[in-house]
Structure 1
Amino acid sequence: MQMTTLKKEAVNLISQMSEKKVETVVQFIRFVYQQPDIADERKKRDERDIQLLNRNASVMNEQAEENFDFQADIWGDE
């Protein structure tokens, strides 16, 4: 659907609405517009997580190696 068609359909729908419904739609659009972009927030969170993991990678690797020493050898000497 082209943007001009979408605009025409939106104008037609709004013109058929009551004043109260139009007010509700406008309030909803303002609310949505004020919300942070979810993709941007997810990207920022992921970047923070990666930085945290990178800062602590050597410690976490050491801890993982220590845990391997305590695991039982269930496979024998294969």
Structure 2
Amino acid sequence: MWSTPSGAKSSSAIYSLIQTALENGLKPLEYLTHVFTQIQRNEEVPIQSLLPWAEEMPTHCKLPQDVATEK
């Protein structure tokens, strides 16, 4: 996957999503699963509701408070 420029670009996009989720106190796997499920169920889902800092993010996507504040 990293042996081509497009593979490197794809990898960096995924890494960026994961790091942004972590920086916003989310569990990356649960967050990405939520986003992809919402997109699959509703093509017109507001993009703002899928951003890692969205207030309406489900609690199962969030890291426990003590883990989220450790840095």
Which has a greater percent of helix? 1
Fold agreement, TM-score > 0.5: no
Q: TM-score scaled by structure 1?
A: 0.30
Q: TM-score scaled by structure 2?
A: 0.32
Higher relative contact order (CA 8 A, sep 6+): 2
